[in-house]
């Protein structure tokens, strides 16, 4: 019989534990769950309030931490942008101060204006980054790791531990009641039951007091989180709005200055320097000029003269002519010269030669453009077709013509 009683007692304890497990499973919660032993409405509401406050403050803490990380990343990236912008400002300032242009200072003035505006914009950008660091990141970081939040969370965790102890003590009281009912109530069993019940009441009282303290602390932290986070977000928006307004003012002023410079350069006549020359015409244009003259039947006279090279010139394209100091070339009288030197023809700038009066001018009349860029020319000395002007050595032809004249006289 004694063995049967012990087995029945074990079964009752197992059933009681299973019932408590079922209550916890369906009640849910991070701080235990209300069951038949904690059916007090006030205690249940307090438990639910602490659980909600814990979830709320944890989510706000994570949001504050995300803001801090984002602002810190923005500050790091922005600092690099400020560095690059200052370098651009310095480069623009150096160009504006140097003013290497020989025809005016419009671009130099624009570069100086841009350098000044860029420097102002980067200063404003730096001020924005400082404001974000001091007014947003630092206050939120201090609250994330601050004592009020940690103290409130510790109170909530302490309440959770006390609730677990109270649940365990409630199970112990249930066991004592079963023993007292099954076995004749002896003084020892009754005293143990009374001691267990007294301890349970003490735990419940302490748990209620700790719960109230935790609710007050967590509620205060939640209100502070909501208020401070909103203030910091508003401060960030205000700082960025002020920054963009100042940047807009700087850009509007810069645009007005640069438009004024553009109007000045468009209104003024094109500067003409003594060394300015148009680009060399293409061979197609030159050939077309003489071909059209031949078709129309009109005879157009083109002046050529003999010149001596006073500065060396290195050809930059296939249609240009290499020049050496002392060479003589036959040139046309325009900005770019097309002439012949050392059996090779091409274009070169007139500024690199000096006219010589060693020979009289040649007057060439247009004919057909068969063998070169300006075609075959007719020379007025003997009215005969000569070779292509690009292969036309003036002095040699003059000598040959003189020899022919002498032989004909004989």
Q: Which of the two residues, 14 and 110, has the higher pLDDT score? A: 110
pLDDT of residue 197: 77
Give residue-wise pLDDT tens across range 263-274.
887 776 655 444
Task: Mark 156-185 as b/e (b = at least 16 C-beta within 10 Å).
Answer: bebbbebbeebbebbbbbbbbebbeeeeee
Query: Average pLDDT, stretch 67-72?
Result: 95
Select the more confidently predicted residue: 394 or 77: 77
d(CA 56, CA 126): 35
* β-bridge pairing 336-341 and 362-365: unpaired
Segments of 113-169 assigned E as strands = none
Q: How many CA atoms lie within 13 A of 246 on its CB side?
A: 18
Q: Are 313 and 307 in contact (CB under 8 A)?
A: no
> How many residues does this entry show for the chain?
410
Is the pLDDT reported for residue 377 higher than 70?
Answer: no
Q: Which range has the worst mean pLDDT, 150-154, 162-166, 392-396?
A: 392-396
The highest-confidence range among 11-15, 100-104, 116-120, 320-324, by mean pLDDT, is 116-120
Give the pLDDT confidence score for residue 68 in this predicted structure. 95
Determine what percent of the chain is predicted with pLDDT higher than 70. Answer: 61
Is 60 exceeded by the pLDDT of residue 49?
A: yes
Of the listed ranges 130-134, 168-172, 337-341, the least confidently predicted one is: 337-341
Whole-number pLDDT of residue 277: 52
**CA angle 191-193-194, nearest 5°?**
65
Q: State the pTM of this model.
A: 0.52
> Per residue in 313-371, pLDDT tens?
777 776 677 888 888 777 765 556 667 777 777 766 666 676 665 544 444 433 333 34
Q: What are phi and psi of 34, to 5 degrees?
A: -70, 135
> What's the distance, CA 303 to chain centroid?
60
Q: What is the DSSP letter of 380?
A: T
At residue 199 the predicted structure's pLDDT band, cuts being 50, 70 and 90, is confident
Asked if residue 78 lies in contact with residue 128, where contact means CB atoms within 8 angstroms, the answer is yes
Domains and CATH numbers, the chain: 26-267 (1.20.1270.60), 283-409 (2.30.30.40)
* Cα–Cα distance for residue pair 305/357, rounded to 1 Å: 8
Q: What mean pLDDT, rounded, does the chain reach?
A: 73
Q: Bigger pLDDT: 307 or 281? A: 307
Distance CA 191, CA 316 (A): 116
């Amino acid at each position: 019989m004694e063995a049967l009683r012990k087995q029945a007692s074990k079964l009752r304890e197992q059933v009681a534990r299973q019932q408590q497990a079922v209550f916890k499973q369906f009640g849910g919660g991070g701080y235990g769950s209300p069951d038949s032993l904690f059916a007090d409405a006030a205690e249940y509401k307090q438990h639910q309030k602490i659980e909600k406050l814990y979830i709320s403050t944890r989510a706000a803490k994570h949001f504050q931490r995300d803001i801090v990380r984002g602002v810190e990343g923005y500050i790091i990236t922005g600092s690099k942008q400020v560095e690059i912008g200052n370098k651009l400002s310095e480069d623009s300032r150096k160009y504006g101060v140097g003013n290497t242009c020989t025809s005016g200072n419009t671009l130099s003035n624009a570069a100086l204006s841009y350098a000044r505006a860029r420097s102002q914009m980067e200063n404003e950008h730096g001020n924005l980054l400082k404001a974000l660091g001091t007014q947003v990141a630092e206050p939120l970081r201090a609250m994330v790791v601050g004592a009020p939040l940690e103290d409130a969370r510790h109170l909530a965790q302490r309440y959770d531990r006390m609730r677990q102890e109270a649940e365990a003590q409630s199970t112990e009281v249930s066991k004592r009641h079963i023993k007292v009912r099954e076995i004749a109530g002896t003084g020892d069993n009754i005293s143990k039951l009374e001691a267990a019940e007294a301890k349970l009441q003490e735990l419940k009282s302490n748990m209620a007091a700790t719960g109230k303290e935790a609710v007050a602390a967590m509620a205060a932290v939640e209100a502070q989180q909501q208020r401070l986070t909103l203030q910091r977000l508003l401060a960030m928006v205000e700082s960025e709005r002020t920054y963009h307004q100042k940047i807009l003012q700087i850009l509007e002023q810069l645009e007005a200055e640069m438009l004024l410079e553009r109007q000045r350069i468009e209104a003024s006549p094109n500067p003409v320097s003594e060394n300015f020359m148009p680009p060399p015409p293409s061979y197609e244009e030159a050939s077309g000029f003489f071909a059209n003259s031949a078709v129309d039947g009109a005879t157009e006279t083109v002046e050529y003269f003999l010149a001596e090279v006073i500065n060396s010139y290195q050809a930059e394209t296939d249609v240009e002519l290499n020049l050496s100091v002392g060479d003589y070339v036959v040139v046309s009288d325009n900005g770019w010269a097309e002439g012949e030197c050392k059996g090779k023809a091409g274009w070169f700038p007139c500024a690199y030669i000096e006219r010589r009066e060693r020979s009289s001018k040649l007057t060439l009349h247009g004919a057909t453009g068969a063998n070169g860029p300006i075609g075959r020319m007719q020379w007025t000395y003997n009215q005969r077709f000569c070779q292509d002007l690009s292969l036309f050595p003036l002095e040699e032809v003059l000598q040959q013509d003189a020899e022919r004249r002498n032989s004909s006289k004989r």
